[in-house]
Amino acid sequence: MPTVLKIGGYRFFFYSNEGNEPPHIHVEKSDSLAKFWLDPVL
């Protein structure tokens, strides 16, 4: 899982193959994890 950015304790990363999911990035800080889609929600 390549790390794109580390800032303020946050790590932004992606997995190279997650099937048919739309483009997104994972964000991790301590024991917390979130996923943000890169396309806007309409």
Determine the pLDDT at residue 36. Answer: 93
Total domains in the fold of the chain: 1
Determine the pLDDT at residue 27. Answer: 97
Determine the pLDDT at residue 11. Answer: 97
CB neighbour list of residue 23: distance below 8 Å, 6 or more residues apart = 37, 38, 39
Determine the pLDDT at residue 17. Answer: 87
Q: Indicate whether 31 belongs to any domain.
A: yes
Q: Indicate whether 17 belongs to any domain.
A: yes
Distance CA 11, CA 23 (A): 17
Per the structure, the complete domain to which residue 7 belongs is given by: 3-37
Distance CA 36, CA 23 (A): 9
Q: Indicate whether 42 belongs to any domain.
A: no
In the structure encoding, which two tokens stand for residue 21, read together? Answer: 């999911």
Determine the pLDDT at residue 16. Answer: 86
Determine the pLDDT at residue 40. Answer: 77
CB 26 within 8 A of CB 17: no
DSSP 26: E
Please give the chain's pLDDT, 42 residues, in tens: 799 999 999 999 999 888 888 889 999 999 999 999 988 766
